[in-house]
Amino acid sequence: MQKLVFLFHSVRYLRPIQLWGRLMTVMRRQAFGRLPSYQRKYRCDNSKIEVYTRLHLSKTLSHTVSLEDLEGGTFTFLNRRVSLGNPVDWFPQQESQLWRYNLHYFDYVESLAASYHETGNVRPYQIFRRLACEWIDSCPLATPLAWDPYPTSLRISNWIKAYTWFAPALCEDKQFATELRQSLFVQARFLEDNLEYHLLGNHLIENGRALLFAGLFFSGPVANRWRRKGEQILWRELHEQVLDDGGHYERSPMYHQMMLNLYQEVVTVLEARGDAPPEYVQRKIKAMGDWLRTLLHPDGEIPLLNDAALRLAGPLHDLQSHPGTVEDGLYALPKSGYFVLRGQRAGNFLVFDCGPLGPDYQPGHGHCDTLSFELSLAGQRFIVDSGVGNYYGDLEWRTYYRSTRAHNTVVVDDAEQSEIWGRFRVGRRAAPLDVWWFDDKKRLAYVSGGHDGYSRLVGNVYHHRWLCWIDRRFWLICDRITGQGSHRVESLLHFHPAVQVMQTPLANAQTPQGTVQRGVDQLTVVPWGVQDVVSYHGVVHPIQGWYAPEFGLQKKNTVWGLRREGVLPLWLGYGLWPGQANVAIHSSSYDEHHCTVIVQCAEAIYSVTCTVAEVSVEKKP
């Protein structure tokens, strides 16, 4: 019954085209297996494969894969190195669906091409030739997984690029060149009829690029149709999926980076042919670059917000060589719901998530991370998002990394902010409320926002958080839980695995602060308004205290839970103070609408008052 409720609340957000796309996908699968006429539609007629043209691509190629591994049938994806034999077993059942998808993408063609151009040796080309021929022989038309639209899209793009990179060798190997073109033509024709309208999002953009590349590579009426369709998808979805602040609407920095790289490549190919894209495309691409640059940690890598992992979306060299935002201050990306407090000179950085988990009709890469944040000090990550882990495999782990408990936010009664279920589905979801931000450029910057994800609980519960940066020196987090009745509240803090705990906070002690350290840098954590502090580290029943910065890479980390139970309204929070400090924090007065917090350190006493409309700070020596 619960699953039916979840399904209802998932389906009601879908667009009609997604429902139609799902229906057509099921019908085509049934038709392909039963109707010979449908199968004949995709048989290759050499007379229809007209003149082809190699694309003009960026000359920058990078090595990511060992030639010896590929030659021996060994592949590494998602931090798993697996030998698949020679010839390759293209459907290793012991591996996850995502790992097998990567096998069929053929992204490793770039490494082969890089070696081919650097050495002039034909060995990399021969490896590609053998792998492509084996794939064609082992994966007949419409084979499940191999011919799914997403891996088909990436493979089309990669094989067309390979045709450019290996052009000298292909000119002398006419039999394989013909076989490769025939397969590409059939794959593009099949993709055209199986576009992922049931999913939309970044998948449809990948479909569009593949059709555009196929339309540019081949010529004739069919190719012209592919090009028109590809461009239509790419420009329409760029307008739809890239928000006014430059962020991709799925709110994943990883997928944002992938889409930015994709559009940059498309524009490079078109401009090399003398075909200028619409004027607004360049504006959108620049905005995407500015958005991503704003979100980069001082270590030059993305934050792990929503489904995001390090070292998967490609290099960030262009962004890192043009630092862009270098001044201290608050940087707001309000359409995405991300806010950055950057202390550039000290190497301090905090990114706060105060937005929706994604577009309502495609929240599959969203997490229960509303009002969560990540923090770097002195250029190093201290407080982290737990990451993504893996999409497939044990569902319990996938659920954990999407859950509220995997993020630096507040859990009420062990409930989820949003009803995550399955691997990519969401029922009722938290909506951001009353989001405000302010920066006086000197003493105070803050972001304030709430969400209604707990309003479905008995007592109509709401969470509101204030994140304040005071004197450009320390951060104060204030959480308000309102509603009716008595509830259990736990505010979670996840530390990077390299962070060592020097002292765990003690809620009822005279000096309750805790201290953590990474290298020579320390962070003092001072809880206030809490009754108990618990520590987790690598727990599996239930799962807590795990960090997955990359797909397939999992590390134990320390998590602190600051707990309080009582009749609402409840106020609680903590201060984050760089370095080791003797700091005391307590609330002096509060009600449902405001709270005044006193922060006392050696140099001054701060009185911080939070209301929904504003934050005020008084400082006394």
Per-residue pLDDT tens over the stretch 163-202: 999 999 999 999 999 999 999 999 999 999 999 999 999 9
Give the sign of the dihedral formed by CA 293, CA 299, CA 304, CA 305: negative
Query: What are the residue ranges spanned by the domains of the chain?
Result: 1-41, 55-195, 327-620
Per-residue pLDDT tens over the stretch 245-281: 999 999 999 999 999 999 999 999 999 999 989 999 9
pLDDT attached to residue 32: 62
Mean pLDDT of 9-34: 83
**CA 436/CA 615 separation, integer angstroms:** 10
User: Which residue has 């350290």 as its token pair?
Assistant: 517
**CA 260/CA 250 separation, integer angstroms:** 13
Phi, psi of 371 (to 5 degrees): 70, 25
Contact 203, 149 (CB under 8 A): yes
Per-residue pLDDT tens over the stretch 75-86: 999 999 999 999
Tell me the C-alpha to C-alpha distance, in Å, between residue 511 and each of 331, 506, 563: 34, 8, 17
pLDDT attached to residue 65: 84
**CA 387/CA 391 separation, integer angstroms:** 11
pLDDT attached to residue 33: 58
Mean pLDDT of 7-34: 83
Helix locations, 174-242, DSSP H = 174-192, 201-217, 221-241
Per-residue pLDDT tens over the stretch 132-173: 999 999 999 989 999 999 999 999 999 999 999 999 999 999
pLDDT attached to residue 581: 87
pLDDT attached to residue 321: 47
9 pLDDT band, cuts 50/70/90, is confident
Contact 461, 568 (CB under 8 A): yes
pLDDT attached to residue 34: 61
Per-residue pLDDT tens over the stretch 307-330: 999 998 877 756 654 545 468 899
Tell me the C-alpha to C-alpha distance, in Å, between residue 260 and each of 89, 188, 267, 291: 33, 23, 11, 10
Token digits of residue 19: 């429902």
Contact 399, 388 (CB under 8 A): no
Architecture of domain 55-195: Alpha/alpha barrel (1.50)
Q: What is the percent of the chain where pLDDT is above 90?
A: 81
- Closest CA relative to residue 414, chosen from 373, 454, 466: 454
**CA 128/CA 113 separation, integer angstroms:** 9
Residue 47, pLDDT > 70, answer no
**CA 212/CA 270 separation, integer angstroms:** 10
- Please count the other Cβ atoms lying within 10 Å of the Cβ belonging to residue 610: 27
Summary mean pLDDT of the chain:
92
Token digits of residue 483: 């509603």
* Helix (H/G/I), strand (E/B), else coil: 588: strand
| Amino acid, res. 518 | R
User: Which residue has 């990474």 as its token pair?
Assistant: 518
pLDDT attached to residue 234: 98
- Closest CA relative to residue 182, chosen from 12, 334, 33, 47: 47
Residue 511, pLDDT > 70, answer no
Higher pLDDT, 37 or 348: 348
Higher pLDDT, 487 or 52: 487
Per-residue pLDDT tens over the stretch 55-95: 877 766 676 788 999 999 999 999 999 999 999 999 999 99
Tell me the C-alpha to C-alpha distance, in Å, between residue 134 and each of 74, 118, 179, 297, 425: 14, 26, 12, 42, 35
Fold of 327-620: Beta-galactosidase; Chain A, domain 5 (2.70.98)
**CA 38/CA 30 separation, integer angstroms:** 10
Mean pLDDT of 35-40: 67
Half-sphere exposure of 426 (CA within 13 A, CB side): 25
* Helix (H/G/I), strand (E/B), else coil: 540: strand
Residue 381, pLDDT > 80, answer yes
- Closest CA relative to residue 371, chosen from 457, 430, 456: 430
The whole-model pTM stands at 0.95
Contact 553, 79 (CB under 8 A): yes
pLDDT attached to residue 237: 98
Token digits of residue 477: 């987090």
**CA 439/CA 178 separation, integer angstroms:** 62
Helix locations, 96-173, DSSP H = 97-105, 109-119, 123-138, 149-165, 167-172
Token digits of residue 153: 């899209």
pLDDT attached to residue 4: 85
Residues 6+ apart with CB under 8 A from 295: 253, 302, 303, 333, 338, 340, 351
